[in-house]
Chains A and B, each alone.
Chain A
Amino acid sequence: MTLITTRPGPGTARPYRFPSVVRRDVAGGRVVAAHLPGQNLAVALLLLDAGAGREPVGKEGLGAVLAKALEEGTAQRDATAFALAVEGLGTELATGLDWDSFQVSVQVPVDRLGAAVELLAEAVRTPRLDPDDVRRVRDDEATALRMDWANPGPRADAVLRADLFGADNRWGRPLYGDPGSVAGLDVEDVTVFHSEWFLRPGTLIVAGDLDRLDLDALGAAAFAGTGGGPAEQGGPIEVPLPAGRRIILVDRPGSVQSTLRLGHPAPHRAHPDHVPMTLAGTVLGGAFTSRLNHLIREVRGYTYGIRGDFASSRRFGRFAVSSGVQTAVTAPALVEAVGEISRTRAGGVTEDELAVARSWRAGQLSVELQSPRAIASALTTLVVHDLPDDYHARLREALLAADVAQVSAAAATHLHPEALTLVIEGDAAAIRDELVASGLGEVTDHVG
């Protein structure tokens, strides 16, 4: 048999294109749209400055409860009639929440987008918020969180976040709250949060064939009956690094795997090192071919997968590594992971690794930005972080231009293996002695 032995080189590169962006002020709000000619499907997304960062401390989960309550009927129709109207167009209201924003979106064949946006606005601007419904939705959400928290992961995530950012701060508590914080919300919390944050116009993101869409009409529907200007957003938060490395053990008796969450604070999104940090994170843990996955999965066989990355929002950021490893190899897996983070900080990255990381990140801007949903998400990045229309093209250039010295410097500056908090959710009785013996740091048992 004759297979071709020589690996082919690349053909002629096609020019990079991000869809053309239209920004337009309509009816007191702003429409930001991307033109996707010939696309049958369209997405509209209402972006509100009502992220988890707007929730008062002690009221975590408010946005998530309100998101569900929006669908419990509007001034015009009850919950069932609303569901049938929305789903009759072929969509559901998709809600999303992060630290910086609250998002509600619809996805439909392009000729139905106008009707879908009218329904979206009806739910967001004029929800019924009947007290009995709100209480029921809150109880359901608390139950849903209890279900979710029965899985490995959420408890470890919460413990890590509290240790990194301090449980006295909203950003030191879980993004969606916990079963207790949600159960403690009352009807007034929800109605006040709605009137404070959901009646400002916000931004309507549209991704679709703009030749078949009327942006003015979409904007008029989305912003009808709104008022109030943008609110002060606050600057980056200074988060101190812990003085030393420590282990926090979260008991999960009988667990066949240990869930690992390792992390420390890192810069916010607008930090000038954003691109080299992203690439350092990619080499260390951001891709299948990264150092951590290669060592812990491919060489050692300890896990199905391990990932690590820098993530950031407008006001803060963190570096974190997550994995699930067999119970019996918990300590060796941790030692290896911390060792790899330390090596990356001390020795930087190689040109070979960086070549893969930067081409991958740059190529993903073509490969992953195809669907209307993905394009809409890219537009929200422009809006939330005040970025220009040609941001994605510029990002691509910056990724491709980053060199070994810059990325190694970012690893040395922003990785802190000696300040890591290592949260282990697993069978404490089976792994505690080994963790103590590992010498990685003082072991504390999480209470609660």
Chain B
Amino acid sequence: MPDSGYPWPIETTRLDNGLRVVVSEDRTAPAVAVNLWYDVGSRHEPTGQTGFAHLFEHLMFEGSVNVAKTEHMKLIQGSGGSLNATTNPDRTNYFETVPAEHLELALWLEADRMGGLVPALTQETLDNQRDVVKNERRQRYENVPYGDAWLRLLPLLYPPGHPYHHATIGSMADLNAADLATFQAFHQTYYAPDNAVLTVVGDATAAEVFTLAQRYFGAIPARGDIPAAPDGHTVAGTGRPAVETVTADVPAARVYVAHRTHPFGSTGYDVATVAATVLGSGRGSRLYQRLADGERLAQPDLVGAYGVDLAHAPAPVIATATARPGVSAERLAAGVAEVVDELATVPVTATELDRAKALLSTAWWRQMSTVDGRADALGRYATQFGDPARTADRLPGWLSVTAGQIAELAADVLTPADRVTLTYLPEETR
């Protein structure tokens, strides 16, 4: 059993303006991953500005003082690289993997949009990207069966005013109301070197990266007083289950059973992660064995459980199943609830525990098998826990979870009294 989940070197420095720089050298392939985590996500959005962090992510690709509109993509792809960015409740990350000789280009591009976005931001760009994001909302959430499940689960899990109450994609009304000045202010507030971590993994030395980071990012001023998001670590249980039933154009009944557990990075969340794997990952999982195989209530490809790795509040664990033809939604929901309840009463066996840990080990090494996967992990641990070396702790953390801890967790936070149940019914059954 490995005692570290990160057997590669890690070197760090901090520029005078507060930018943290993390480097992990690996000469195996002639490629290098560049990754920036900005500590801003939809949890920072006030009422009336939902979706702004994500819309802002789009604007970051639309040019900055020395980079023309659309040039960012063209330069990275023109150097042979892959790139993208994502926004979630916690943070926004930007990343590209390029052939190693283009490292300096990637750093120049990232520095230019960190330090020089605002002067290049125009009303035309904002209007165009607002349309693109509204299309993204239609395509991913509105035009697909069950597409809005996450949008519905969040407000059931987190009360109004909680930073996770609203979804990152935001509301159409808020997106329509977005004005240019708000986005200029958003950049000035959050896109500062002292609110970011720059990680470089692959075919480059730490000394080389530190020098380049100083050259390209060193002159960008620190902001200093970056406003914190509302604190969401404590979520008062309501003591009664939350239930929502939606009748929609869906092909079969589906149920989601969700609970708040512990924040990502805590021992409690390691236990929740292993518990979710025992519960719903693979054909050997309890949900599959009981509902897809045993009682045959659920469709085999659509049964599962997973945690959502959020760090600033008790993170959700979600179990889901879709009814086989002829099975009622009530029957299915009762089946899922029963299997979840049994985590507290039917001890997890050594075989179940080993199976879950083996699957998690493979998943871990899969993320670590690419330079981009490693860079994102180091950026996360540096941003959320102040130390990229804590990346190494996650796998041993999972591997040390015991059956007793899972039963305790289940009795503590996976209880019927604190449960969210979201059910979709096909329209014919209305």
Binding site for B on A (CB under 8 A): 1-17, 37-41, 68, 71, 79-80, 83-84, 87-92, 107-109, 136, 140, 143-144, 146-147, 150-152, 254-257, 287-289, 294, 297-299, 301-304, 324-326, 355-356, 359-364, 366-368, 370-373
Alpha-carbon gap, A441 to B145, bound state (A):
31
The residue that B80 contacts in the complex, of A92, A256, A301, A360, with Cβ under 8 A, is: A360
Q: 18 A-B contacts, Cβ less than 8 Å apart?
A: A10-B79, A11-B101, A15-B30, A38-B28, A79-B283, A83-B284, A84-B351, A88-B351, A89-B358, A90-B359, A91-B359, A150-B251, A297-B135, A303-B132, A359-B77, A359-B78, A363-B98, A367-B99
Q: A254-B249, A359-B79, A367-B80 are in contact. Are A144 and B30 (CB under 8 A)?
A: no
Q: A92-B282, A364-B80 are in contact. Are A7 and B355 (CB under 8 A)?
A: no
Q: Is A88 in contact with B215, judged by CB distance below 8 angstroms?
A: no
Q: Is A324 in contact with B128, judged by CB distance below 8 angstroms?
A: no
Alpha-carbon gap, A364 to B284, bound state (A):
37
**Residues in A whose Cβ lies below 8 Å from that of B324:** 140, 143
**Residues in A whose Cβ lies below 8 Å from that of B127:** 301
Q: Is B301 in contact with A1, judged by CB distance below 8 angstroms?
A: no
For the complex of A and B, 10 pairs with smallest distance between CB atoms: A363-B80, A301-B131, A14-B30, A90-B358, A83-B283, A356-B78, A90-B362, A150-B251, A8-B104, A83-B284
Q: Is A324 in contact with B143, judged by CB distance below 8 angstroms?
A: yes
Bin chain B's interface residue count.
35 or more
A-B residue pair count with CB separations less than 8 angstroms = 228
Minimum CB distance partner of B360 in chain A: A90
Is residue B11 contacting chain A, with contact meaning CB distance below 8 A? no
Nearest chain A CB to B197 CB, angstrom units: 20
Minimum CB distance partner of A375 in chain B: B369
Q: A144-B301, A151-B144, A326-B138 are in contact. Are A366 and B31 (CB under 8 A)?
A: yes
**Residues in B whose Cβ lies below 8 Å from that of A37:** 28
5 extra A-B contacts, CB within 8 A, seeds A11-B101, A17-B30, A326-B135: A88-B351, A257-B135, A303-B139, A324-B138, A356-B77
**Residues in B whose Cβ lies below 8 Å from that of A372:** 369
Alpha-carbon gap, A38 to B219, bound state (A):
39
Q: A71-B283, A257-B139 are in contact. Are A3 and B219 (CB under 8 A)?
A: yes
**Residues in B whose Cβ lies below 8 Å from that of A80:** 283-284, 289, 293
Q: A109-B365, A366-B30, A370-B371 are in contact. Are A294 and B284 (CB under 8 A)?
A: no
Q: A140-B299, A151-B144, A326-B138 are in contact. Are A92 and B283 (CB under 8 A)?
A: yes
* Chain A proximity mask over B132-171: 1 for CB below 8 Å, otherwise 0: 1001101110111100000000000000000000000000
Alpha-carbon gap, A289 to B142, bound state (A):
26
Is residue B241 contacting chain A, with contact meaning CB distance below 8 A? no
Alpha-carbon gap, A209 to B407, bound state (A):
39
Minimum CB distance partner of A324 in chain B: B139
**Residues in B whose Cβ lies below 8 Å from that of A79:** 283, 293
Minimum CB distance partner of B147 in chain A: A151
* Chain A proximity mask over B248-282: 1 for CB below 8 Å, otherwise 0: 01111000000000000000000000000000001
Alpha-carbon gap, A265 to B70, bound state (A):
32
Alpha-carbon gap, A12 to B99, bound state (A):
10
Alpha-carbon gap, A3 to B354, bound state (A):
52
The residue that A11 contacts in the complex, of B73, B80, B100, with Cβ under 8 A, is: B100
Alpha-carbon gap, A257 to B220, bound state (A):
42
Minimum CB distance partner of A71 in chain B: B283
Q: A14-B101, A41-B366, A367-B99 are in contact. Are A88 and B139 (CB under 8 A)?
A: no
B36-44, B105-113, B339-347, B383-391: which lies at the interface: B105-113
Is residue B213 contacting chain A, with contact meaning CB distance below 8 A? no
Q: Is A144 in contact with B283, judged by CB distance below 8 angstroms?
A: no
**Residues in A whose Cβ lies below 8 Å from that of B351:** 84, 88
Q: Is B139 in contact with A362, judged by CB distance below 8 angstroms?
A: no
Is residue B406 contacting chain A, with contact meaning CB distance below 8 A? no
The residue that B358 contacts in the complex, of A5, A40, A87, A304, with Cβ under 8 A, is: A87
**Residues in A whose Cβ lies below 8 Å from that of B366:** 41, 107, 371, 373
Minimum CB distance partner of A327 in chain B: B138
Minimum CB distance partner of A8 in chain B: B104
Nearest chain A CB to B37 CB, angstrom units: 20
Within 8 A of A (CB), among B74-125: 74-75, 77-82, 97-105, 108, 111-112, 115-116
Q: A87-B282, A257-B139, A294-B70 are in contact. Are A152 and B144 (CB under 8 A)?
A: yes
Q: A3-B220, A289-B77, A367-B31 are in contact. Are A107 and B358 (CB under 8 A)?
A: no
**Residues in A whose Cβ lies below 8 Å from that of B316:** none
Binding site for A on B (CB under 8 A): 28-31, 65-66, 70, 73-75, 77-82, 97-105, 108, 111-112, 115-116, 127-132, 135-136, 138-140, 142-145, 203, 215-216, 219-221, 249-252, 282-284, 288-289, 293, 296, 299-302, 322, 324-325, 351, 354-355, 358-359, 361-362, 365-366, 368-371
The residue that A87 contacts in the complex, of B78, B130, B284, with Cβ under 8 A, is: B284
Most B CB contacts (10 A, CB to CB) among A90, A143, A256 go to A90
Alpha-carbon gap, A387 to B366, bound state (A):
28
Q: Is B355 in contact with A303, judged by CB distance below 8 angstroms?
A: no
**Residues in A whose Cβ lies below 8 Å from that of B77:** 287-289, 356, 359-360
Q: Is B135 in contact with A5, judged by CB distance below 8 angstroms?
A: no
Q: Is A297 in contact with B282, judged by CB distance below 8 angstroms?
A: no
Q: Is A109 in contact with B132, judged by CB distance below 8 angstroms?
A: no
The residue that B111 contacts in the complex, of A4, A83, A287, A304, with Cβ under 8 A, is: A4
Q: Is A367 in contact with B98, judged by CB distance below 8 angstroms?
A: yes
Q: Is B136 in contact with A304, judged by CB distance below 8 angstroms?
A: yes
Most B CB contacts (10 A, CB to CB) among A5, A8, A92 go to A8
Q: A257-B143, A359-B79 are in contact. Are A301 and B252 (CB under 8 A)?
A: no
**Residues in B whose Cβ lies below 8 Å from that of A255:** 143
**Residues in A whose Cβ lies below 8 Å from that of B103:** 11
Q: A7-B75, A14-B30, A367-B81 are in contact. Are A298 and B284 (CB under 8 A)?
A: no
Q: Is B105 in contact with A7, judged by CB distance below 8 angstroms?
A: yes
Nearest chain B CB to A435 CB, angstrom units: 19
